[in-house]
Homo-oligomer: A and B are copies of this chain.
Amino acid sequence: MALVVQKYGGTSVGSIERIKNVARRVIKTKRQGHQVIVVVSAMAGETDRLLELARQLAPQNRELNERELDVLVASGEQVSIALLAMAIETMGEKACSFLGHQVQVLTDNAHTRARIKKIDSDRIRQALADDRIVVVAGFQGIDERGNITTLGRGGSDTSAVAIAAGLQADVCEIYTDVDGIYTTDPNVCRRARKLARISYDEMLELASQGAKVLQIRSVEFAKKYAIPIHVRSSFSEVEGTLVCKEDKAMEKAIVSGIAYNKNEAKITIHGVPDRPGVAAAIFSAIAERGIVVDMIIQNVSADNSTDLTFTVPKDDFQRSLEIVSGICREIGAENVAGDEHVAKVSIVGIGMRTHANVASRMFAALARENINIQMISTSEIKVSCVVEDKYTELAVRVLHDEFQLDRELAQEEE
């Protein structure tokens, strides 16, 4: 008997028929002799419907109270857990639903983007011991004062993995509308190939670089607590992709996947005085406003001043420009330039650690297509390039070919 956590996304519970399908699937697992905890998202479209209601309240784009936004959107998961629990019961198995405050999923108080601090698993264990299928609302938690919090888009993945970790589950299955992790977005590159396995670190990099299948935080949790994540389709029985600890076989693949992110914008500050504390002043001002800076590049100094370039999410571009413009005056920088027409393309693979020349092969491949590289950022298992956004898809395809990602044998069974 295993303890299995299954997470179903919004599409998988998007209608009563689909909820019934999920119920059947969950029951099947239960009847195979396992204990099952199901984590669900809101029905597809529901979160957007709720946010649209909120948006109608603030036509001048005045900021809405985030505590109340969390109360609002958390209702979406409440609907789906109740419906799923009822569906399971009508099919003859015992079920019990839990909201974030019932489990409890304790988070910090950063509304709309809270982080899970602790899972109190007592009530879940009781319900499991009572032979019930446990249905938990994803995406939501409570802070220490009992306020409802939400974990941000994709937060249900994190809920599922955190619960799997909290209960030391054997596996966390993430059911979604795709059947696994691909070498890249199949909509962009038709030669994209489904991976049988991928390491936590690669998955983290792919998610960070724009792959949208799993929320980053969920992979961090899974890695920290060594919970295998099985990403698979809720609409078929096909095996998906296992996100797990790396092993020798994985290292043979130089590049495991290619991610891209069009939701980036670039800001360059020219003539930044080259003295201690200047970068801190700029980036702490941005961070204080909750804006997440991605890449930062600073050239070597000339004439006691330097150029500083960084990227932010497109949605935060205008706000970032305003903040930076203000600071530039304070610190005496020359001027600020912004560019929204950029995208980031990244190659990821733990094999990079042991293979030289990966970055240069990437640059050369892009150069052959006359794609100019505006910024470069690397980690041990990743190389990212910022390019003009119109080249995004081309760049992905070129790199997919360059590193022969369509070939399975060469990478996973050699």
A→B interface (CB under 8 Å): 16, 19-20, 50, 53-54, 56-58, 62, 64-65, 67-69, 71-72, 74-76, 78-79, 81-83, 85-87, 89-90, 95-97, 99, 101-102, 123, 146-148
How many of these chains are in the complex? 2
Residues of B within 8 A of A54 (CB): 82-83, 86
Interface pair B86/A82, CB less than 8 Å apart: no
How far is A101 from B99 in the complex, measured between Cα atoms in Å? 11
With contacts A64-B89, A64-B90, A148-B99 taken as known, whether A75 is within 8 angstroms of B79 at the C-beta atoms is yes
How far is A68 from B68 in the complex, measured between Cα atoms in Å? 24
How far is the CB of A65 from the nearest CB of chain B, in Å?
A: 5
A147 (CB) vs chain B CBs: closest residue:
B102
Residues of B within 8 A of A78 (CB): 71-72, 74-75, 78
Interface pair B83/A53, CB less than 8 Å apart: yes
Residues of B within 8 A of A101 (CB): 101, 146
Q: List 10 additional A-B contacts (Cβ < 8 Å) besides A57-B83, A123-B146.
A: A53-B79, A54-B83, A57-B86, A65-B95, A68-B85, A68-B95, A69-B82, A72-B79, A75-B76, A101-B101
Residues of B within 8 A of A50 (CB): 79
Residues of B within 8 A of A82 (CB): 54, 68-69, 71-72, 75
Interface pair B57/A16, CB less than 8 Å apart: yes
Interface pair B57/A85, CB less than 8 Å apart: no
A74 (CB) vs chain B CBs: closest residue:
B78
Residues of B within 8 A of A57 (CB): 16, 19-20, 83, 86-87, 90
Residues of B within 8 A of A16 (CB): 53, 56-57
How far is the CB of A332 from the nearest CB of chain B, in Å?
A: 38
How far is the CB of A82 from the nearest CB of chain B, in Å?
A: 4
Residues of B within 8 A of A72 (CB): 78-79, 82-83, 86
What are 6 residue pairs bridging A and B, where the CB atoms are less than 8 Å apart in the complex?
A53-B79, A57-B90, A65-B85, A72-B82, A74-B78, A101-B101
Residues of B within 8 A of A148 (CB): 99
Residues of B within 8 A of A86 (CB): 54, 57-58, 64-65, 68-69, 72
